[in-house]
Structure 1
Amino acid sequence: MTTPPPSTPEPAEALAGADAPSDGTPHRSGFISFVGRPNAGKSTLTNALVGEKVAITSDKPQTTRRAIRGILNRDDAQIVIVDTPGLHRPRTLLGERLNDVVTATLSEVDVIGFCLPAGEKVGPGDRYIARMLAEHTRAPVIGIVTKTDIAPPRRIAEALVEVSGLQTDLGRDFADIVPISAVSGSQVDLLADLIVAQLPEGPQLFLDDEKTDETTEALIAEFIREAALSEVRDELPHSIACSVEEMLPREDSDVVDVHATLYVERQSQKPIMLGPRGARIKKIGTTARQQIEQRLGMRIYLHLHVSVLAEWQRDPKKLNRLGF
């Protein structure tokens, strides 16, 4: 497959006449989607390949809620990485829509990266994903054994054998199987080489200095939600959503006032988010502001509000309002 997803500019529009590498090797470009169960390390791997943070990370399921694209530029290739939500058995309309994001993405990419954590045995959920890949895509699939930094060598070897066994459900051989650690960087460069080998020849789809096609507002909202997830821990991770209402540059200053809202589903959750005397929301704001300023290189004053949007995960109109 050589056609990028519809929302992506055609190569001629994006970078007409991009040069091939000087050694005569044809330039390659295309899309890879990372799929897997929740917490399989997809977002951390995306950030490691891109070389900076474009996707938020957390040990909470459903941290990734839409297809997030990161861009790796090399002399010989441009890899557009599509980080998708973890496939799971949905319990809400939001969960159904997250799974729909994954299946829709599969038909649009050139390569699939099937992520499976080294420390966990291959289970029914992984076999379900393998069968789904067999049904929805003929793109080459790379089996990626993630999180090798927290698994002993014997367990990594066992995981590689287990992943190889998924080829029956997949209906074809993996293009490659590789163990990696996105945290330590072990074999991340090798994975990039393996991805490039599967991409079609083609020009750059994005400019050299682009790392993601996410909007500034979307990145800010995600950093705020990441900070909130870290603070509330196991209390209400699925109930949190965030939107940036407006960004207002100050006159005669390089500071931007960012007004954002954190949404919860029930009135009883609001004081949990605020914390005693507002201490928790203040800490969330401080953490998020530091991340935003570091990532975007802009000075901001963050105005955070907490609002109740009753049962938003199950209400189609509210999901649409939040962009899901």
Structure 2
Amino acid sequence: MNDDHETTPAHRSGFVSFVGRPNAGKSTLTNALVGSKVVITSNKPQTTRTVVRGIVHRDDAQLILVDTPGLHRPRTLLGERLNDLVMTTWAEVDVVAVCFPANEKIGPGDTFIVNELAKVKRTTKIAVATKTDLATPEQIAEHLLAITELGRATNTEWAQVIPVSSVSGDQIDLLADLLVEQLPEGPPLYPDGDLTDAPEEILVAELIREAALEGVRDELPHSIAVTVEEMGLREGRDESKPLLDIYASLYVERDSQKGIMIGHKGARLREVGKAARQQIEALLGTPVYLDLHIKIAKDWQRDPRQLRKLGF
């Protein structure tokens, strides 16, 4: 394009959405690319609920990563709203990268997602084989063939198919390069140094929810919601010794779940509070006083009024 003068390549910026069935490695991949923890990860499926953007700053580009909930066949009103959110996001981003864990065979869930994605015509589509550290070279080769075949079967044209490992960092930089190639030319959309555009309250709520999900019995993950009621620096303290007060509510759907969350003599809740506080302090770089309360919002996932109140 610029034959006359030696010029640097044009700066590119744009939005990329990682999608895949729950637990496909989307959030871990976002954090690996950004190089910082902006999206909560958990070995429980359906951990992500809000669309959190991670921002990758490079000299030649700004890559804005949009993390969406895992698409699934909805069983509740919350499930339907999350799916709508995913479909809207796909139509608005520059690239959709579909994550297929290399240690698992392609299944009906993957086919369902790619079929839905095929309805979004103009968006560039990339296939990412995630979790390659958990698969043998033979498994990875078979997996890549299966992904290519799925593209053919659903009439989806993959701009790229790439295997990566977020844990070992294998091919993460190459993936970033491939994503940048697909972005339109343009100036940075966010100030340098920003890692996410999510308000701090949302990130804090997500970190609390992540801590609450750790080691809880299987029936709880979808029933936990967190809202930050108040957050601010404590007044009257020396500037060199700030303390951030955070008052948050952790909502469950039933009395029995409240008991599980509190634990014997409050031990479980103290554990959650401690783990969340450490993560929040690491993220915000300020000592934190965290006050957590457990509340019951009966069957909130099915109640439109409660969903609104909890931010869905």
**Deviation of the 1:232 alpha carbon:** 1.4
**Between 231-240 and 39-48, the greater mean CA deviation after superposition:** 231-240
**Residue in 2 that maps onto 1:122:** 106
**Residue in 2 that maps onto 1:11:** none
**Residue in 1 that maps onto 2:182:** 198
Correspondence for 2:278 among 285, 290, 296: 290
Structure 1 ranges of 4+ moved more than 6 A: none
> Does residue 1:307 correspond to 2:291, yes or no?
no
> Does residue 1:111 correspond to 2:95, yes or no?
yes
Give the secondary structure class of the aligned counterpart of 1:135: coil
Q: Where do residues 169-248 of structure 1 align in structure 2 (5 Å cutoff)?
A: 169-248=153-232
Give the secondary structure class of the aligned counterpart of 2:23: coil
**Residue in 1 that maps onto 2:123:** 139
Query: What is the identity, as a one-letter code, of the residue corresponding to 1:35?
Result: V
Asked whether the 8 Å contact 2:114–2:156 carries over to 1, the reply is no
Correspondence for 1:263 among 226, 230, 251: 251
| Number of residue pairs matched by the alignment | 303
Correspondence for 1:319 among 304, 307, 311: 307
| Cα-Cα RMSD | 1.2
> If the length of structure 2 is used for normalisation, what is the TM-score?
0.95
**Residue in 1 that maps onto 2:29:** 45
Asked whether the 8 Å contact 1:270–1:307 carries over to 2, the reply is yes
Asked whether the 8 Å contact 1:265–1:310 carries over to 2, the reply is yes
Output one character per residue of 1:218-277: Cα deviation in whole Å (capped at 9) or x when no partner.
111000000000031424111100000001321232101110010000112111100000
Asked whether the 8 Å contact 1:66–1:101 carries over to 2, the reply is no
Give the secondary structure class of the aligned counterpart of 1:231: coil
**Deviation of the 1:90 alpha carbon:** 1.1
Query: What is the identity, as a one-letter code, of the residue corresponding to 2:76?
Result: T
Give the secondary structure class of the aligned counterpart of 2:215: helix
Asked whether the 8 Å contact 1:50–1:72 carries over to 2, the reply is yes
Alpha-carbon spacing, 1:265–1:78, altered in 2? closer, same or farther (3 Å): same
Q: How far apart, in 1, do the equivalents of 2:257 and 2:96 lie? A: 38
> If the length of structure 1 is used for normalisation, what is the TM-score?
0.91
Q: How far apart, in 2, do the equivalents of 1:151 and 1:239 lie? A: 32
Q: How far apart, in 1, do the equivalents of 2:121 and 2:292 lie? A: 42
Output one character per residue of 1:22-59: Cα deviation in whole Å (capped at 9) or x when no partner.
95200000001011100000000000001101100011
Q: Which structure 2 residue ranges, 5 or more long, are not aligned?
A: 1-5
**Residue in 2 that maps onto 1:276:** 264
Q: How far apart, in 1, do the equivalents of 2:7 and 2:198 lie? A: 33
Identity %: 60
Q: Which structure 1 residue ranges, 5 or more long, are not aligned?
A: 1-21
Q: How far apart, in 2, do the equivalents of 1:86 and 1:317 lie? A: 23
